[in-house]
Structure 1
């Protein structure tokens, strides 16, 4: 499936990254000289995304100023200055700025490096594999050994049929949610307009057998604390060509 629209969740407070986030929003924190959100937006552009809604709250003016300087993708601001909407509420609000249809969703502070450039990218594969007739959501997932900065928690068990179930001790093929989703906006036709956690929809989809996953290629990272910045930068150096 071809997907040209995206929603980037970027409104969080980044409290664990203090004191850095006392003066700037987490998505603008630089890793190896590049703001985290630019890693995410560049991955989306490479996958064919031409328009992205981005929600803002913490230091929203800084976010808008930075995003206004990008030439691609086209950015639409979903303003949450008045109230944070949590992951689900923020997604639903942002989707209203986009045409109905399939969309890629990404967290602004989760990204990866080290993809094989001779193969389709992770997001290209995610979009191509999404089948709204069989799936409510298709999640990009990663094995724990291919992560930096993660706390070791397993989110799902990935079945041989591609279906995801919540991970429980002893289940096979544990994976971590990598912060990228392919979905159709109609999934939220009856969603509330107030704040809610997107995990509600993960669980509903899993119960119906309509939560699917594919594995990320490359190395995934999350930067939750100031100390994790150095770890992420070291991982980027390791996974650069010739690193």
Structure 2
């Protein structure tokens, strides 16, 4: 059996990404869709495949050249795109012996191609098109004998799957021109009752021709792989959207029977982009931390281009939720001490074997990062943006230098999470697990401890913060001098962290329109005033004066 895979199109519905990567090379389960189509054909006995190319043809040709398959595959380059009919006509020299498949390169299905081929040969028709019920595309009508009547049905139609079998004699009905649509030929043959419908029921079929359908297909394929589900059962997988966070990622829970998994959607991750760097950091760092026996969700699988990552499902209970449910000081101290034990493990064990090249922003928590991503963020997003005050960042340059130097001085250096707050800690089977670890880098443990204890979502009392801080220094077995140095660094890390989340809450509220974060700004201001009052304000007089006036 022979086949022609239509792969020449521009993929306009996948713009702007299809300007760089041709649609047939968009990946599912880390393999190009074209490879999935080829495998489907080979598994069903196809022994010769033609692939027409035009848009970014060199990438498709290079991919085909490196494939290791037990059949002959040939590409046919079209210098000028010929449309579907023209592509089939152009392949005529290779397809004149027996009926052949013509399949779109952007569809994934479990259609039984052997059964289809046998049906076509028995029908004696020139063309057999595979149809199924798909509301969005139900426009093909058939008569009571199974012949296709038209392609623009207003009611009771079915959808064309992009899969068909043609007999070589169909070439006798092709128009005498280079570029034309195959539908143009079929419309002529309809009147001769030469186009048969092969109607499939309860099949899996998906096209990746739009960003929405591509992402959805990737999500379903990853879920099916996790659950060990064949294509014919994918329809039984339930996908639920989960509440998001401050990032642009989407989160889903996939369920099948009593099995569940969480899928993180980072969006399309093109080569050499920040989004791809963040995805890779998430995967590499997550796998590393898990290997160090630090409680994080296990990364089960991923597809790089679609940005989908499958993880163990840790449920829906964050540390914030559990603390507010219990509303009990004794319980709060107990669970936070457990969290701190793991934060220390995260710092010490996490740095062991950590490759700085995995990081997606900076390799370390540096002075430059503090000044740009925390101090400047505070001035520009909160002071200038949210409060609308005409105050320059440069007025505070010397003071921000002082703050950043002291946030690093005497740092207990380990692996730093950099967003160690209660919404990034899940409680599963009464044990804390850390999530959102993609920004991890080497840095002071004091920063993660500050993030945990001055967390505005939980608003721990000063007494609890003091008790937990003492628990940490005792756990680390610090000498008196080491303890004082640790606490000095901690106070400045509290300041830089507070500057950071005031900037973040302002940015999320005003720019991202995530107004739910605005309610935490008053607490963050109150916290900032308290932190500054505990420092030597002679070293930061301008910042101290500004904060007092807020």
TM range (shorter): 0.7 to 0.9
Aligned match of 1:14: 11
Once residues 155 and 42 of structure 1 are traced to their aligned partners in structure 2, the CA distance between those partners, rounded to angstroms, is 29
Aligned match of 2:172: 189
2:184 aligned residue (181, 200, 207):
200
| Superposed displacement of residue 165, structure 1 | 1.6
More strand by share: 1
Once residues 105 and 143 of structure 1 are traced to their aligned partners in structure 2, the CA distance between those partners, rounded to angstroms, is 20
1:101 aligned residue (91, 98, 102):
98
Is residue 163 of structure 2 the alignment partner of residue 180 of structure 1? yes
Is residue 33 of structure 2 the alignment partner of residue 43 of structure 1? no
Aligned residues: 224
Structure with the greater alpha carbon radius of gyration: 2
Q: Is the 8 Å Cα contact of residues 123 and 196 (structure 2) preserved in structure 1?
A: no
Moved more, 200-209 or 230-239: 230-239
Once residues 117 and 166 of structure 2 are traced to their aligned partners in structure 1, the CA distance between those partners, rounded to angstroms, is 9
Relative to structure 1, the CA distance from residue 100 to residue 175 in structure 2 (aligned partners, 3 Å threshold; closer, same or farther) is same
Once residues 199 and 33 of structure 1 are traced to their aligned partners in structure 2, the CA distance between those partners, rounded to angstroms, is 33
| Superposed displacement of residue 194, structure 1 | 0.6
Relative to structure 1, the CA distance from residue 233 to residue 133 in structure 2 (aligned partners, 3 Å threshold; closer, same or farther) is closer
Once residues 123 and 213 of structure 2 are traced to their aligned partners in structure 1, the CA distance between those partners, rounded to angstroms, is 40
Once residues 105 and 92 of structure 2 are traced to their aligned partners in structure 1, the CA distance between those partners, rounded to angstroms, is 16
Aligned match of 2:64: 67
| Superposed displacement of residue 211, structure 1 | 1.1
Q: Is the 8 Å Cα contact of residues 132 and 183 (structure 1) preserved in structure 2?
A: no
Aligned match of 1:118: none
Q: Indicate the SS of the match to 1:179.
A: strand
Q: Indicate the SS of the match to 2:158.
A: strand
Once residues 56 and 123 of structure 1 are traced to their aligned partners in structure 2, the CA distance between those partners, rounded to angstroms, is 23
Q: Is the 8 Å Cα contact of residues 206 and 213 (structure 2) preserved in structure 1?
A: no
| Superposed displacement of residue 59, structure 1 | 1.1
The CA RMSD measured in Å over matched residues stands at 2.0
Once residues 95 and 132 of structure 1 are traced to their aligned partners in structure 2, the CA distance between those partners, rounded to angstroms, is 23
Q: Indicate the SS of the match to 1:104.
A: strand
Moved more, 6-15 or 27-36: 27-36
| Superposed displacement of residue 61, structure 1 | 1.0
Is residue 230 of structure 2 the alignment partner of residue 232 of structure 1? no
Once residues 112 and 143 of structure 2 are traced to their aligned partners in structure 1, the CA distance between those partners, rounded to angstroms, is 19
Aligned match of 1:148: none
Uncovered stretches (5+) of structure 2, i.e. residues with no partner = 230-255, 257-550
Once residues 130 and 25 of structure 1 are traced to their aligned partners in structure 2, the CA distance between those partners, rounded to angstroms, is 31
Is residue 126 of structure 2 the alignment partner of residue 136 of structure 1? yes
Is residue 148 of structure 2 the alignment partner of residue 164 of structure 1? yes
Uncovered stretches (5+) of structure 1, i.e. residues with no partner = 116-120, 146-151
| Superposed displacement of residue 221, structure 1 | 0.6
| Superposed displacement of residue 134, structure 1 | 3.3
Q: Is the 8 Å Cα contact of residues 86 and 181 (structure 2) preserved in structure 1?
A: yes
Once residues 103 and 51 of structure 1 are traced to their aligned partners in structure 2, the CA distance between those partners, rounded to angstroms, is 10
More helix by share: 2
The TM-score normalised by the length of structure 1 is 0.84
| Superposed displacement of residue 132, structure 1 | 7.2
Q: Indicate the SS of the match to 2:91.
A: helix
Q: Indicate the SS of the match to 1:40.
A: helix
| Superposed displacement of residue 199, structure 1 | 0.7
Q: Indicate the SS of the match to 1:48.
A: coil
The structure showing larger relative contact order (alpha-carbon pairs under 8 Å, at least 6 residues apart) is: 1
The TM-score normalised by the length of structure 2 is 0.39
Relative to structure 1, the CA distance from residue 239 to residue 137 in structure 2 (aligned partners, 3 Å threshold; closer, same or farther) is farther
Q: Indicate the SS of the match to 1:131.
A: helix
